[in-house]
């Protein structure tokens, strides 16, 4: 692997990364946002016009890859593209190894050149990840292995044979941070139009994507397991200061309702009791009531809703993949006595 310092391949990439930095490293970008990139007096396209691999005519090696968004908010993104080593895979164009875009990617891999991965988050909106590297090629599966940083690239190259578990664990963490968490946040904020579902705050920099079922408890990074919340409501939800029932109603913990303190307590916490969260316009992007119920039962506050048998059945199947300490929803429902839904 050789990288020449004064090489157009390297200089153009550096300039492209700096340009993306000016757009905001975590910001979603559209084709239009990318249109004003100029390198040495020439306007250069950074992303393929269609899904796929992009090699500008000024370069020999590919510069970027583009994937379209998963339209189904319940689908875990990139589920199928993670290999047994926990690195992501990127498919060739077609099945011909000599196809020019596949050759352009192979050249980037052989020369260790960094690339940009534009991940589709919503229609026409992309989350750029850069620099990413190609760690290997799997010709029989028509794909490349993608490394999200130089460390995982080096670890895979040097230790995959001797310490496969170590390499897997590292890759898992990097993919979690560089892909799943970022993609989860952006998809959830997009679904909620960048507003807190509890208080309607619209400052993007103060918003998070809260998990209904946490990562640690086996929650998936899907939009239906997420709710957009401002920092204070996210922290309060995670601390079980309030809960959200499967019918989207908020219940604030009884002892918090009885406290007296300044306006933050009154307006941000006590006043939200019994209100209903703001939901995404798109019905299928709304939080999954089964997951809300599991969390709501854990929260143990306020009257619980009596669920119909279909939801109970769904809950039972959800319980089969959740850790025992969370698998209480069906129990909650079964012992719920005379509550009405
Ligand atoms: Zn809020």
Q: What is the CATH number of the domain that holds 119?
A: 2.30.280
To 10 degrees, the CA torsion angle through 235, 241, 245, 248?
Answer: -50
The reply to whether 159 and 261 lie within a common domain is no
Residue bearing the bigger pLDDT, 215 or 323: 215
The reply to whether 97 and 117 lie within a common domain is yes
If you search the block for the tokens 């219940």, which residue do you land on? 251
Task: List 118's β-bridge partners, or say none.
Answer: 66, 128
User: For position 184, what pLDDT does the model report?
Assistant: 92
**Average pLDDT in the 79-102 region?**
90
**For the chain, how many structural domains are there in total?**
2
**Average pLDDT in the 29-53 region?**
91
Alpha helices in 111-163 (DSSP H): 150-159
Closest CA to 172 of 156, 186, 161, 190: 156
Residue 264: Cβ within 10 Å count: 10
Output the CA 173–ligand 1 centroid distance in Å: 29
Q: Does 227 map to a domain?
A: yes
If you search the block for the tokens 């946490």, which residue do you land on? 214
Q: What angle do CA 228, 117, 110 make, to 5 degrees?
A: 155
Tell whether omega for the bond before 131 is within 30 degrees of 0, i.e. cis. yes
User: For position 291, what pLDDT does the model report?
Assistant: 96
User: For position 78, what pLDDT does the model report?
Assistant: 67
In Å, the largest CA–CA distance within the chain is: 76
Structural domain ending residue among the three candidates 142, 165, 189: 189
Q: Does 340 map to a domain?
A: no
Alpha helices in the chain (DSSP H): 8-23, 31-34, 100-110, 150-159, 164-175, 181-191, 231-238, 254-258, 263, 289-299, 309-319, 329-334
Q: Does 341 map to a domain?
A: no
The reply to whether 178 and 96 lie within a common domain is yes
pTM for the model stands at 0.78
**Average pLDDT in the 84-104 region?**
94
Rounded-to-integer distance, Cα 310 and Cα 339, Å: 17
The reply to whether 182 and 250 lie within a common domain is no
Would you say how long the chain is, in residues? 341
User: Does residue 328 have a pLDDT over 60?
Assistant: no
User: For position 164, what pLDDT does the model report?
Assistant: 92
Task: List 65's β-bridge partners, or say none.
Answer: 53, 117
The reply to whether 97 and 237 lie within a common domain is no
Q: What is the mean pLDDT of the chain?
A: 85
47-51, 66-70, 87-91 — most confident range: 87-91
Split at pLDDT 50, 70, 90, the class of 321 is very low
The reply to whether 233 and 325 lie within a common domain is yes
Closest CA to 137 of 178, 108, 175, 115: 108
Which residues are within 5 Å of ligand 1 (an ion), measured at CB? 196, 198-199, 201, 230, 233
Please give the radius of gyration of the chain, using alpha carbons only, rounded to the nearest integer.
Answer: 23
If you search the block for the tokens 């397991």, which residue do you land on? 225
Output the CA 242–ligand 1 centroid distance in Å: 12
By mean pLDDT, which of 163-177, 259-273, 293-307, 315-329 is the weakest?
315-329
Name the percent of the chain lying above pLDDT 90.
Answer: 66
User: For position 1, what pLDDT does the model report?
Assistant: 46
Q: Does 213 map to a domain?
A: yes
**Average pLDDT in the 37-53 region?**
92
Q: Does 176 map to a domain?
A: yes
The reply to whether 170 and 225 lie within a common domain is no
User: For position 76, what pLDDT does the model report?
Assistant: 67
**Average pLDDT in the 125-130 region?**
92
Q: Could you tell me how far CA 47 lies from the centroid of its own chain?
A: 21
Q: Does 49 map to a domain?
A: yes
Output the CA 118–ligand 1 centroid distance in Å: 30
User: Does residue 10 have a pLDDT over 50?
Assistant: yes
Rounded-to-integer distance, Cα 288 and Cα 315, Å: 11
Output the CA 308–ligand 1 centroid distance in Å: 31
User: For position 27, what pLDDT does the model report?
Assistant: 76
Q: What range defines the domain where residue 118 resides?
A: 8-189
Those residues whose C-beta lies under 8 Å from the C-beta of residue 13, and which sit 6 or more positions away, are 63, 113, 114, 115, 131
Output the CA 196–ligand 1 centroid distance in Å: 5
Q: Does residue 237 contact residue 197 with C-beta atoms inside 8 Å?
A: no
User: For position 333, what pLDDT does the model report?
Assistant: 47
Q: Does 1 map to a domain?
A: no
User: Does residue 325 have a pLDDT over 50?
Assistant: no
Output the CA 162–ligand 1 centroid distance in Å: 48
**Average pLDDT in the 262-268 region?**
91
Output the CA 293–ligand 1 centroid distance in Å: 21
Output the CA 244–ligand 1 centroid distance in Å: 14
Split at pLDDT 50, 70, 90, the class of 69 is confident
Rounded-to-integer distance, Cα 145 and Cα 156, Å: 10
User: For position 310, what pLDDT does the model report?
Assistant: 44
User: For position 144, what pLDDT does the model report?
Assistant: 95
Q: Does 172 map to a domain?
A: yes
User: Does residue 126 have a pLDDT over 80?
Assistant: yes
């Amino acid at each position: 692997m050789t990288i020449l310092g004064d090489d157009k391949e390297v200089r153009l990439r550096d300039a492209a990364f700096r340009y993306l930095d000016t757009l905001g490293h975590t910001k979603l970008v559209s084709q239009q946002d990318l249109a004003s990139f100029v390198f040495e007096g020439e306007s250069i396209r950074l992303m393929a016009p269609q899904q796929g691999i992009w090699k500008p005519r000024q370069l020999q090696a590919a510069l970027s890859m583009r994937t379209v968004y998963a339209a189904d908010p319940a689908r875990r993104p990139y589920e199928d593209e993670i290999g047994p080593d926990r690195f992501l895979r990127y498919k060739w164009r077609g099945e011909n190894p000599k196809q020019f875009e596949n050759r352009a990617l192979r050249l980037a891999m052989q020369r260790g050149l960094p690339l940009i991965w534009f991940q589709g988050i919503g229609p026409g909106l992309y989350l750029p990840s850069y620099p990413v590297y190609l760690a290997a090629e799997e010709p029989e599966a028509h794909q490349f292995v993608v490394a999200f940083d130089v460390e995982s690239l080096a670890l895979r190259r040097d230790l995959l044979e001797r310490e496969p578990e170590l390499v897997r664990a590292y890759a898992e963490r990097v993919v979690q941070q560089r892909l799943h968490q970022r993609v989860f946040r952006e998809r959830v904020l997009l679904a909620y139009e960048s507003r807190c579902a509890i208080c309607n705050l619209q400052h993007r920099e103060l918003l998070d994507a809260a998990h209904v079922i946490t990562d640690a408890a086996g929650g998936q990074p899907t939009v239906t397991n997420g709710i957009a919340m401002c920092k204070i409501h996210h922290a309060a939800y995670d601390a079980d200061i309030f809960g959200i029932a499967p019918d989207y109603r908020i219940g604030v913990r009884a002892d918090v309702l009885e406290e007296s303190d300044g306006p933050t307590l009154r307006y941000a916490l006590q006043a939200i009791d019994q209100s209903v969260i703001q939901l995404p316009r798109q019905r299928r992007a709304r939080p999954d009531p089964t997951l809300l119920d599991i969390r709501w039962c854990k929260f143990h506050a306020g009257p619980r809703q009596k669920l119909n048998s279909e939801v109970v059945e769904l809950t039972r199947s959800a319980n089969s993949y959740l850790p025992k300490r969370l698998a209480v929803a069906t129990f909650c429902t079964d012992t719920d006595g005379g509550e009405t839904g």
